[in-house]
């Protein structure tokens, strides 16, 4: 049995998936250039699981460095988390986003092909559904993305589908994440954005911690029940378990398959604020601010396909998400 390569394995979703894979008995190798994560995540994964993952500090778009890794380690499957992910930044620096996100995927596929590695699990995003009508189901037409980050996910999905079509022995699993939040219940790993958080939960956590004085709610005049946007928030540990199921599926099947990883439940921004306040017994000051460019009123998943084919379903509640996010935030100070 070979090892599982996690690119971006020190990041938010990658590190939680590393923990769940080790708990399931997989041997993993992490490749991460630490451009948006930190080396001590490897120690934390070891503390949680009792097992230290192999770690390569490399950029996976660096073909020579990646080849050296494949020459040293027998790799059965790749889970590709590494990538630039800031929506606003992608609008400012589109070429950097296309270059980095597409290059890393192509380099991985070419290297896998040379070493006979046949299974690729990809971190895609619900953003590929664009402004389609939710609930989003896997067979819906994609496109209509509102920023270059979203288009990189859309394009990489296409590259991977084409690669699987051309090589019938290849297995490709495309995972469309909804809104991952929360943290490992140990409080050791979680989401640690550098600078001002773009995403809702890290922002709320920093307001709770007193780092920011209030949350700006981006628009309360959307055509939703309370006027604020609806998203499908999923606990990152549930999401990580979804990767374990997806990897098992990929190792057992060939061809390309797409799965939503969400809960199927939508929550508004105001509901998230209230859930955080109730779960953690504190108050989150907020102000209504103008809409943020590119935000869509509704996003939530249809989850039946993952339930049926992967035997996976999200288990954790909004309370769990808010409690664990806060436990992690407190551990950072
Ligand atoms: N949001 C907000 N204030 C913030 C950050 C986010 O009101 O400081 C809102 C945002 O407009 C969206 C929701 O929270 O409706 C989720 O935003 P996030 O960036 O976390 O996820 P995405 O928009 O990518 O689904």
* pLDDT (average), residues 259-281: 98
pLDDT, tens only, 212-249: 999 999 999 999 999 999 999 999 999 999 999 999 99
What percent of the chain clears pLDDT 70, i.e. is strictly above it?
A: 100
- Does 319 reside within a domain? no
pLDDT at 101: 98
pLDDT, tens only, 272-291: 999 999 999 999 999 999 99
| Residue ranges making up the domain that contains 31 | 3-182+234-262
Region at 221 (left for phi over 0; alpha for psi -120 to 50; beta for the rest): alpha
Q: How far is the CA of 112 from the centre of ligand 1 (A)?
A: 36
SS (H, E, C) 165-229: HHCCCCEEEEEEECEEECCCCCCCCCCCCCCCCCCHHHHHHHHHCCCCCCEEEECCCCCCCCCCC
Atom of ligand 1 lying closest to residue 269 CA: 14
Q: How confident is the model at residue 194 (pLDDT cuts 50, 70, 90)?
A: confident
- pLDDT over 80 at 312, yes or no: yes
149 as an active site residue: the answer is yes
CA distance 146 to 136: 16
- pLDDT over 80 at 1, yes or no: no
CA distance 310 to 328: 29
Number of domains into which the chain is organized:
1
pLDDT at 300: 98
CA distance 311 to 134: 23
Active-site residue, selected from the candidate residues 149, 177, 222, 233: 149
**Residues 297 and 220 sit within 8 Å (Cβ to Cβ):** no
| DSSP label of 8 | T
Q: How far is the CA of 62 from the centre of ligand 1 (A)?
A: 33
Q: Is 204 in the pocket of ligand 1 (CB under 6 A)?
A: no
**Residues 111 and 70 sit within 8 Å (Cβ to Cβ):** yes
pLDDT at 3: 98
User: Is pTM beyond 0.85 here?
Assistant: yes
pLDDT, tens only, 120-171: 999 999 999 999 999 999 999 999 999 999 999 999 999 999 999 999 999 9
pLDDT at 88: 93
Q: Is 10 in the pocket of ligand 1 (CB under 6 A)?
A: no
Average pLDDT, the chain: 97
Q: How far is the CA of 295 from the centre of ligand 1 (A)?
A: 8
- CATH number for the domain that contains residue 127: 3.40.50.720
Q: How far is the CA of 199 from the centre of ligand 1 (A)?
A: 5
Q: Is 179 in the pocket of ligand 1 (CB under 6 A)?
A: yes
- Does 119 reside within a domain? yes
- Does 247 reside within a domain? yes
- Does 172 reside within a domain? yes
Name the residue with the closest Cα to ligand 1, atom 16: 200
């Amino acid at each position: 049995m070979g090892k599982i390569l996690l690119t971006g394995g020190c990041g938010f979703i990658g590190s939680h998936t590393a923990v769940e894979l080790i708990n399931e008995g997989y041997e993993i190798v992490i490749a991460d250039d630490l451009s948006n994560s930190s080396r001590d995540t490897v120690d934390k994964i070891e503390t949680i699981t009792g097992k230290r993952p192999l770690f390569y500090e490399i950029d996976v778009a660096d073909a020579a460095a990646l080849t050296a890794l494949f020459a040293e380690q027998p790799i059965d499957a790749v889970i590709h988390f590494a990538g630039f992910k800031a929506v606003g930044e992608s609008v400012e620096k589109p070429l950097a986003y296309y270059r980095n996100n597409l290059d890393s995927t192509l380099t991985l596929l070419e290297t896998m092909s040379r070493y006979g590695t046949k299974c690729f699990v990809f971190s895609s995003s619900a953003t590929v559904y664009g402004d389609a009508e939710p609930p989003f189901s896997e067979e819906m037409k994609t496109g209509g993305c509102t920023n270059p980050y979203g288009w990189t996910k859309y394009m990489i999905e296409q590259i991977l589908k084409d690669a699987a079509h051309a090589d019938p022995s290849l297995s490709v699993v495309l995972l469309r994440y909804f809104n991952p939040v929360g943290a490992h219940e140990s409080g050791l790993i979680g989401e640690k954005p550098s600078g001002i958080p773009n995403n809702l939960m890290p922002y709320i956590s920093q307001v709770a911690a007193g780092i920011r004085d209030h949350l700006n709610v981006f628009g309360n005049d959307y055509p939703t029940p309370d006027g604020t946007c609806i998203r499908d928030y999923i606990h990152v540990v549930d999401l990580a378990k979804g990767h374990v199921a997806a990897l098992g599926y990929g190792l057992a099947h060939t061809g390309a398959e797409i799965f939503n990883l969400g809960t199927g439940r939508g929550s508004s921004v105001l509901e998230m604020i209230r859930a955080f306040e109730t779960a953690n017994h504190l108050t989150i000051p907020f102000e209504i601010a103008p809409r943020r460019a590119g935000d869509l009123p509704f996003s939530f998943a249809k989850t039946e396909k993952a339930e049926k084919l992967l035997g996976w379903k999200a288990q954790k509640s909004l309370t769990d998400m808010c409690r664990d996010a806060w436990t992690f935030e407190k551990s950072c100070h």
